[in-house]
A and B are shown apart, each in its own frame.
Chain A
Amino acid sequence: MRVLIVENQPDRLAMLAPALEAAGCVVAATLNSARSLDAQIQVLRPDVVIIATDSPDRDTLENICVANQGCPRPIVMFTGDGSTDSIRAAMQAGVTSYVVDGLDPVRLRPILDVAVSRFEAYQALHDQLEQTRLELSERKLIDQAKALLIKQTGASEPEVYREMRRAAMDRGLKLVDIARQILQKPT
């Protein structure tokens, strides 16, 4: 596993690099600033990037991720804040892994392995969930819009549905978009 470390605190770095190597990782490079981060990521293609949560260079990393698909998304954050709440919250926000300062070096490798595999699993799950959620919420909106129009006009369900479908076809919109217009739900 190739690891890129962005770290400007020498003492933390002194702890981290040997620990990673002892754990069988290859430290592809250690950068002390974002100066050449984007070139380095292109060249080194690391599997994981380790960066401190309070590093200003996170914005540089962010830009690389927005601009390139080839960005190593498992990004492991170092932090001094070890409370369970903040770790859980960081996970929910999409940070792949969260490592607390002063961590036992022996536990590093498993954390990185977990970070990578969880990232992959999460990606797959996330895509699937989004798709399902989208379909479900679209169906719900259409049903609500139909119910609303039936209630207001006293027209039958097939009639209202036909009307909505025609409106959609006339405008080249999806049925759900018409439903949204009726219900005034922004996207």
Chain B
Amino acid sequence: MSDTPTLPILQDPSKRDFMKKTTGLSVAAALMALVPPGVREGAWAAGTDGLEKTDVTFGIIPLTDCAPIVIAHEKGFFKKYGLNSSVSKEASWANIRDKVSIGALDGAHMLAGMPIAATLGIGATPKPTITAFSMDLNGNGITVSNELYERMVAADPVAMKQRPTTAVALKKVIDADKAAGKEAMTFAMVFPVSTHNYELRYWLASAGINPDKDIRLIVIPPPQMVANLQSKNIVGYCVGEPWNQRAVELGIGHALVTDYEIWKNNPEKVFGVNLEWAEKYPNTHKATIKALLEAAMWADKPENRKEVVQIISAKSYVNAPPDVVDNSMTGTWRYNRVEAPQPMPDFNVFYRYAANYPWLSHAAWYITQMYRWGQFDRPVDIRKTAATIYRPDIYRTVAREMNVPCPTGDWKTEGMNKNPWTLKAATQPIPMGPDTFFDGMTYDPAKLMAYLKGFKVSNAKVDMAALARLNG
């Protein structure tokens, strides 16, 4: 049923209005007394401060945005909150997911879509996984080979002069290849449910390119991207830093566009734990988030970024030259070797703009993309599902205990703010960054079906009518 004009769920998930309309007043009144808002939060706050577990191991993937975990470990924030931490560098996202699922890791650096995929069983046996902490915003880029770049410029010189760079010229190259009967080009990203996959697809699709039909899209581990571009196995990729700037420095590719330009201040990595773990060790979980929050605050300060670079470049973490890590981490971006590095101060956001808040609307956005690209075909109530996986309630408890400003709502629209703005629905007003999409689309989590139906390119496999019944 898509005829419901407004959704009271947006700020208050108690569904009072709905019940009033459908089951009569006495029942509605009974319900109101039954489900006071914030019950779940109270339960968390009521816990004792005793840590259930003090020896903890957290997993990371060698990428610059593992910083909050590494900084919390190296700068003693975990220790401050009573945790005896170890950091384990993992070889693959699948490894991260499995080790968190089986408890071999207490928690980990995860792609924002991973707790959702793990919970829904996309790509693995379902294991309820949650996140109460977003690690950062932005941080990725799309790079193409020099050859493809030249072809794009030749195909549409005007489009290629504009920033943010669109895929309009690429579409022309693809069309020309098709007309000539050539094989589809191969692009790469890092994981099926990665932010990179959705960003690359979003960018391609906005120019009318169907990423499942017009190109070949494969997965390559981040540290192998540059080598694969160099050996011409792929013509382009979407990856996190330092692997875009590395290709530019080597002179083998053009970093066309950052994800910041595609969707300003988009959510990137999260700190994920399995639900069973979170329920068994609630105080350890809260202590971990406190340490991560302090680490994120520290790492976000421009004066600390050089030290962040020093720490995370080390062999045991990212294992890349500090000057390459430095580029994006200190707020600059190099599109190519000809141009000087450009200022990109919000390329890595670790704390400001409420970056650590696990917005339910962000989880819901990822679920819309999983439907859009046919990764998930079981109809579910998207908002409710989001609320079981992303846990702003836990974050709020932690923020309150630390006296850190925190949003009070769980949902926010995207694409409405072209300029910096102030979030007033918060314990203290929070300065926020712009949140526009480069194609001008807007996202309203109260109108998910309309959003899903608004995509011109979509390879959804879900029964849309059934999905609409659950998300009216």
Contact = CB atoms under 8 A, between A and B. Distances in A.
B102 A149 contact: no
A59 B221 contact: yes
Given A54-B91, A60-B220, A177-B470, A167 B385 contact: no
B30 A149 contact: yes
A40 to B, nearest CB: 12
A59 B93 contact: yes
Interface in B101-119: 101-104
Contact of B388 (A61, A95, A186): A186
Interface stretch (A11-19, A63-71, A104-112): A63-71
Contacts of A164: 23
Interface stretch (B11-19, B236-244, B411-419, B436-444): B11-19
Nearest to B223: A56
B92 A86 contact: no
A186 B275 CA distance: 14
B27 A163 contact: yes
Chain A contact surface mostly: helix
A65 B123 contact: yes
A153 B23 CA distance: 12
Interface string A73-102: 000000000000010011011110000000
Nearest to B381: A187
Contacts of B223: 56
A137 interface: no
User: Which of B102, B122, B125 counts the most chain A CB atoms within 10 A?
Assistant: B102
Residue of B22, B91, B124 with most chain A CB atoms under a 10 A cut-off? B22
Contacts of B23: 163-164, 166-167
Which of A62, A64, A163, A182 has the most CB atoms of chain B within a 10 A radius of its CB? Answer: A62
Contacts of A67: 192
A66 B121 CA distance: 10
Contacts of A35: 220, 228, 233
A171 B21 CA distance: 11
B219 A34 contact: yes
Contacts of A172: 1, 469, 472
B186 to A, nearest CB: 10
A153 B30 contact: yes
A60 B186 CA distance: 14
A166 B190 CA distance: 48
A110 to B, nearest CB: 24
A126 to B, nearest CB: 8
Interface in B24-76: 24, 26-27, 30-31, 33-35
B98 interface: yes
A34 B14 contact: no
A181 interface: yes
B140 to A, nearest CB: 16
B221 A56 contact: yes
B319 interface: no
A57 interface: yes
Interface size class for chain B? 35 or more
Nearest to A34: B220
B387 A186 contact: yes
Contacts of B233: 35
B95 interface: yes
Contacts of B22: 166-167, 170-171
Contact of B15 (A149, A170, A181): A181
B94 A59 contact: yes
Given A177-B470, A182-B31, A34 B95 contact: no
B124 A94 contact: yes
Interface string A31-59: 00111001000000000000001111111
A160 B30 CA distance: 12
Contacts of B33: 152
A131 interface: no
B224 interface: yes
Interface in B228-261: 228, 233
Contacts of A171: 1, 22, 472
A33 B223 CA distance: 13
A148 interface: yes
Interface string B205-224: 00000000000001111011
Which 10 A-B pairs have CB atoms at the shortest separation, nearest pair first?
Answer: A152-B30, A94-B125, A89-B102, A63-B219, A56-B221, A186-B384, A167-B22, A66-B192, A58-B94, A58-B92
Interface of A: 33-35, 38, 53-67, 86, 89-90, 92-95, 126, 148-149, 152-153, 155, 160, 163-164, 166-167, 170-173, 177, 180-182, 184, 186-187
Given A34-B219, A181-B15, 10 more contacts: A59-B190, A86-B104, A148-B30, A148-B34, A152-B34, A153-B26, A171-B472, A181-B18, A182-B19, A187-B388
25 contacts: A34-B221, A35-B228, A35-B233, A38-B218, A53-B95, A54-B91, A54-B95, A56-B92, A56-B223, A58-B95, A59-B94, A62-B191, A63-B191, A63-B219, A67-B192, A86-B102, A89-B104, A152-B27, A153-B26, A167-B22, A167-B23, A171-B1, A171-B472, A177-B381, A182-B31
Interface of B: 1, 13-15, 18-19, 22-24, 26-27, 30-31, 33-35, 91-95, 98, 101-104, 122-125, 127, 190-193, 218-221, 223-224, 228, 233, 375, 380-381, 384-385, 387-388, 469-470, 472
